[in-house]
Amino acid sequence: SDLEKRYRETNAESYSLFEEAISVLPGGDTRSVTYTQPFPTFIESASGCRMTTEDGDEVIDFLNNYTQAVHGHSPEPVVDAVVERFKKGNGLGSPTRDITELATRLVDRFPSVDSVRFANSGTEATMNATRAAIAYTERDHILKVKGGYHGTHDAVEVGITGDGREHPGIPSSVEERVTTVRYNDPDALKEVFEAHGSEFACFIVEPFLGAAGMIPATTEYLQTARDLTEEHDSLLVFDEVMSARVSVGGAQEKRGVIPDLTTFGKIIGGGLPVGAFGGREDVMNVYHPEEGNVGHSGTFNGNPATMAGGVVMLDLLDEDAIREINQHGDRIREEVQGIADDTDLPVTVTGEGSVFHIHFAEGPVTDFESAGSGLEATDDSGPNHSLAFYLGMRDRGIFMAPRGMGNISTPMTDEEIDSFVRAAEGALRDVEA
């Protein structure tokens, strides 16, 4: 297409860096999600809500490292805290006061969290939370939703794009102990719990489906999950790696549904690799070396610089900051949907608070199935509206996820939101053409 041709022309340096990368990295990258058609843009630097590409373009960053950079890039107070801590020593093989400071913030903010442990990614957080559930309930099975994304450990990769095992490399014995259920469907949940409730150690669920397209769960759905898990002595795990940002106390506080365990990542670690899981004290105590004795080690768990940066990240993400990014998110959803409704394209803009997703689907988009092509942005079979839209946005200086996802960072003002909406208007025209 013309757009692709222009992308190739204007991102020649990125292409040459990609070619170099591909000789030493399979696929030229090291994250499946950032492998972008026709090739990824290489970024040279970033500050606030802007990034400079290796091709010398300045783009407004609406990707924010897949929702991690809630304060944009290199926010000064966070950088200062990280650097100061690092200079005093990092990776000390013994705890520092930073773990307690960050843990206290998580306990204070999130209603479900009595105590917490740190890890290095959301993947590790969900791995350890489900392990806690298995140890606590002495059951082997976990229940998750189709399209639910909880990172890349074996159990949670089952059913991320629908039924069954999409990823060779996951042992079939793991697959056998994971059941998947349709999102946002209380009746389906009732049915599966009636049939197998006594086998489930936990039901792990995102308060909004993130990777599958920023699709909020109804409160009724989450409440049904709460009731059923309680009834069947199974644990409810909210994966708030993405949704923690929707209010000071996360989606659990906003919806008034309190899980047994919660997982965190992305925004809580000063822009450095991080994960955390927390919840009911009696469950978390499986990790108390003198009580439950479930293993949980990690050279970088509670890494001092990560913790020190995380404290500042969370303190900056107060009620006022959240209100403002959420209002910006509302504006994008309303205005882009309005523009799209005047075209012949099937567009549904979803999301909650400061995150959004532009689906090329008729809607309503309520689960993995109705999101349709949302995850296929890198699929080159047939016309691909998401990819065309992405290239159209890139052409207009807006950076977002190729699959149609975007999110707001606190340095953004109405000016950046205006730019996004104007660009979306043009990009939708490109897609129509």
Euclidean distance between CA atoms 377 and 401, whole angstroms:
9
Q: CB 147 → ligand PLP: shortest distance, Å?
A: 11
| Identity of the residue, 72 or 275, whose beta carbon is nearer to ligand PLP in the bound complex | 275
Q: Of 15 and 62, which has the nearer Cβ to ligand PLP?
A: 62
Closer to ligand PLP at the Cβ: 15 or 110? 110
Total number of residues shown for the chain: 433
| Residue 92: Cβ-neighbour burial (10 angstroms; 0-12, 13-18, 19+) | exposed
Rounded to the nearest 5°, which phi and psi values hold at 150? -130, 25
145 phi and psi, to 5 degrees? -100, 155
Distance from C-alpha of 42 to C-alpha of 53, rounded to nearest angstrom: 6
- Provide the minimum distance between the beta carbon of 139 and ligand PLP in the complex, in angstroms, as a whole number: 22
Unique residue bearing structure tokens 């047939």: 382
**Proportion of the chain in helix, strand, coil states, percent, rounded to 5:** 45, 15, 40
For 265, residues 6+ apart whose C-beta sits below 8 A from its C-beta are 68, 121, 122, 125, 241, 274, 275, 276
Minimal distance, residue 122 CB to ligand PLP, in Å: 2
CB 415 to ligand PLP: min, Å: 28
Nearest approach, Cβ of residue 6 and ligand PLP (Å): 30
In the bound complex, what is the minimum distance in angstroms from residue 343's beta carbon to ligand PLP? 30
Three-state SS at 114:
coil
Residues 152 and 123 sit within 8 Å (Cβ to Cβ): yes
Q: Looking at beta carbons only, is 15 or 149 nearer to ligand PLP? A: 149
Q: CB nearer to ligand PLP: give 239 or 260.
A: 239
Task: Name residue 178's beta-bridge partners.
Answer: 142
Q: Which of 55, 61, 98, 239 is catalytic?
A: 239
- Is residue 390 part of the annotated active site? The answer reads no
Residue nearest to ligand PLP (CB): 122
Nearer to ligand PLP, 14 or 64 (CB): 64
- First-to-last C-alpha distance (Å) of the chain: 11
Q: Which two tokens stand for residue 382?
A: 């047939």
Q: Which is nearer to ligand PLP, 313 or 347 (CB)?
A: 313
Which residues of this chain interact with ligand PLP, rule CB under 6 A? 66, 121-123, 126, 149-151, 206, 210-211, 239, 241-242, 265, 275
Pick the catalytic residue from 7, 149, 221, 390.
Answer: 149
Closest distance of CB 66 from ligand PLP, Å: 5
E strands, 73-211, where?
115-119, 141-145, 178-181, 200-205, 208-209
Least distance (Å) between residue 127 CB and ligand PLP: 9
Closest CB to ligand PLP among 259 and 392? 259
Question: Does the active-site annotation cover 149?
Answer: yes
Distance between CA atoms of residues 46 and 59, nearest Å = 9
Cα distance between residue 19 and residue 13, in whole Å:
10
Which of 62, 4, 1 lies closest to 37, judged by CA? 4
The active-site residue out of 266, 287, 390, 395 is 266
Check if the beta carbon of residue 264 is closer than 8 Å to that of residue 102: no
- How many beta carbons lie within 10 A of that of residue 296, not counting itself? 17
Helix, coil or strand: residue 333: helix
189 and 200 in contact (C-beta within 8 Å)? no
287 is catalytic: no
Catalytic residues: 149, 239, 266
